[in-house]
């Protein structure tokens, strides 16, 4: 059974917390979903902690309480809760009864259907009930939402809604820096920069007046604007270097198209892509195929692939480890093309990896293998990316033939970046790509396509096309 995690940041809400937790525990959930409730007491000085502790004692399987010794803010409370979130999906639930837990199914629907990575409950949609409150508060919300939309190229109606639902693995993969209400614009801008699928759905809203305990004020609005400007001009999207490099490469659309165009003449109608990542190549190759299977070992990448290409009826995303023969058993003799770009070098036993690829092909099917060329340029970038080796053309030929392939062709690819790879990874020992360098390179791909075959040194990569002999 899948699980929904509900994170409840709490600061001095003893009057409302018990009623809120009753509603959260009683809220209807879509069939097949269980619930985990994480209450974070953010340094409350009233009886909030005792109330939360009593609910945890009464519902030990469902409610967990975490504590801050001093008040740090909503963003800090969410950051504290996330490592403990065990659900496939996470909803942020304020403790003040302004938002109704009975609307969880509405928030979760786009996530469960695989259409969305994040869902915002908007208070400004026509046709839902909401309490009429402050004009100036609504105007500030509109202006700040417009500012976020301007810098993130979104068309959200309510960035500051406190009803947000996410795929948990996505939320856990993003470094969160804001301690207070700055969480709202920070997460929105970072989701936009990650190019994930965001949906909005109407929700009801029962807002409080300041006399009734509303906490957000003018200072928060100015602070929020500062947060928007801070995160609009930086990319702080991943906790690890590897995914950050993949994200950087996803912006090189012309280069990805060059790779796709280079291998497309060798592809068939039924394709298995090994190590698809977040789909930089998949989105170029998937059109007009009978079947396109994208595989990866990272669950976050697979979830991203499913939402990114959900509109393609011929597309499937599956977990598949090149070093695990059992992952390939269901795929045996099922495709006429295997695309494996920048993956084989990550596998300790690359002989086994090639045999696994061979097993999936129908007789006469082709494997298209791209690997980095030359240990002479092996450097820090290779280590960060987890490369076990770089290949010579002779080594790649021999290993593919040993796996049973008949080689159609082997050729060098992307000669122009070899000096830069050597300089950045071996001399400067950089652990990430420069977005400026990559941006300049990508804009000139039209030129590199023309010049590449005339450059006298070897390529950054080698491409081999091997065929499984006909029966």
| CATH number of residue 68's parent domain | 3.90.550.10
Do 116 and 215 lie in one domain? The reply is yes
**Average pLDDT estimate for 378-405:** 94
Per the rule left: phi > 0, alpha: psi between -120 and 50, beta: everything else, 192 is alpha
CA-CA distance, 130 to 99, in Å (whole number)?
Answer: 10
SS3 30: coil
pLDDT bin (cut points 50, 70, 90) of residue 205 is confident
CATH number at residue 405: 3.40.50.150
Please state the domain count of the chain.
2
Interval 290-312: pLDDT, tens: 999 999 998 888 988 888 888 89
Average pLDDT score over residue span 16-24? 96
- 27-36 average pLDDT score: 95
The residue among 48 and 207 whose pLDDT is bigger is 48
Beta strand 361-372 pairing with 461-467: antiparallel
* Domain final residue, candidates 203, 238, 273: 238
Same domain, 35 and 58: yes
Q: In terms of pLDDT, which residue wins out, 436 or 199? A: 199
Give one word for 90, left, alpha or beta, with left for phi > 0 and alpha for psi -120 to 50.
beta
Among the listed ranges 19-23, 75-79, 224-228, which one has the minimum average pLDDT value?
224-228
Residues 226 and 246 placed together within one structural domain of the fold: no
- Based on the fold, state whether residues 307 and 213 are members of the same structural domain: no
Would you state the pLDDT for residue 296? 94
If asked whether residues 248 and 376 sit together in one domain, one would say yes
Q: Is residue 319 very low, low, confident or very high in pLDDT (cuts 50, 70, 90)?
A: very high
**Distances from the Cα of 240 to the Cαs of 100, 187, 354, in angstroms?**
36, 17, 28
pLDDT at position 158 over 80: yes
pLDDT at 177: 93
Assess whether 69 and 113 both reside in one domain: yes
Provide the residue range defining the domain that includes 415. Answer: 242-467
- Tens of pLDDT, residues 86-143: 999 999 999 988 899 999 999 999 999 988 999 999 988 755 666 665 666 677 778 8
With helix as H, strand as E and coil as C, how does 407-450 read? Answer: EEEEEEECCCCHHHHHHHHHHCCCCCCCHHHHHHHHHCHHHHHH
Write the CA distances from 1 to 18, 59, 88, integer angstroms: 27, 19, 10
What pTM was computed for the model?
0.81
Mean pLDDT across the stretch 43-68?
Answer: 97
- Could you tell me if 203 and 58 lie in one domain? yes
Query: How many Å is the maximal CA-CA distance in the chain?
Result: 81
For residue 18, name the pLDDT band (cuts at 50, 70, 90): very high
């Amino acid at each position: 059974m899948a699980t929904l995690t509900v994170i409840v940041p709490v600061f001095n809400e003893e009057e409302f917390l018990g009623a809120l937790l009753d509603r959260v525990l009683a809220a209807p959930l879509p069939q097949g979903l269980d619930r985990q409730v994480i209450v974070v007491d953010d340094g409350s000085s009233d009886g909030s902690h005792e109330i939360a502790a009593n609910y945890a004692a009464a519902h030990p399987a469902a409610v967990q309480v975490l504590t801050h010794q001093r008040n740090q803010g909503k963003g800090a409370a969410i950051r504290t809760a996330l490592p403990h979130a065990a659900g496939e999906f996470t909803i942020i639930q304020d403790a003040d009864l302004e938002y109704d837990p009975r609307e969880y199914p509405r928030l979760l629907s786009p996530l469960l259907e695989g259409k969305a990575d994040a869902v915002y409950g908007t208070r400004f949609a026509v046709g839902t009930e909401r309490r009429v409150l402050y004009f100036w508060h609504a105007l500030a919300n509109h202006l700040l939402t417009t500012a976020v939309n301007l810098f993130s190229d979104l068309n959200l109606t309510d960035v500051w809604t406190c009803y947000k639902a996410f795929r948990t693995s996505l939320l856990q993969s993003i470094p969160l820096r804001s301690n207070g209400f700055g969480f709202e614009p920070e997460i929105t801008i970072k989701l936009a920069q990650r190019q994930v699928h965001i949906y909005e759905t109407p929700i009801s809203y029962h807002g409080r007046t300041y006399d009734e305990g509303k906490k957000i004020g003018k200072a928060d609005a100015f602070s929020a604007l500062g947060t928007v400007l801070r995160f609009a001009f930086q990319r702080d999207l991943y906790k690890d270097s590897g995914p950050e490099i993949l994200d950087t490469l996803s912006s090189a659309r012309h280069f990805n198209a060059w790779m796709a165009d280079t291998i497309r003449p060798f592809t068939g109608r039924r394709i298995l892509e090994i190590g698809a990542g977040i789909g930089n190549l998949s989105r170029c190759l998937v059109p007009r195929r009978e079947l396109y299977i994208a595989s990866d070992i990272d669950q976050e990448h697979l979830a991203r692939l499913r939402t990114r290409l959900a509109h393609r009826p011929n597309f499937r995303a599956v977990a598949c480890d090149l070093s695990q023969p059992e992952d390939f058993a269901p795929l045996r003799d099922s495709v006429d093309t295997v695309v494996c770009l920048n993956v084989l070098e990550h596998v300790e036993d690359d002989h086994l990896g090639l045999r696994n690829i061979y097993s999936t092909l129908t007789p006469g099917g082709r494997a298209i293998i791209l690997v980095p060329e030359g240990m002479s340029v092996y450097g820090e970038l290779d280590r960060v990316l987890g490369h076990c080796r770089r290949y010579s053309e002779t080594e790649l030929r021999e290993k593919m033939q040993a796996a049973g392939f008949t080689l159609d062709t082997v050729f060098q690819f992307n000669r122009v970046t070899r000096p830069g790879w050597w300089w950045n990874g071996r001399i400067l020992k950089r652990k990430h790509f420069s977005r400026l360098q990559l941006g300049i390179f990508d804009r000139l791909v039209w030129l590199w396509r023309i010049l590449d075959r005339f450059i006298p040194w070897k390529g950054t990569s080698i491409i081999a096309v091997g065929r499984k002999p006909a029966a």
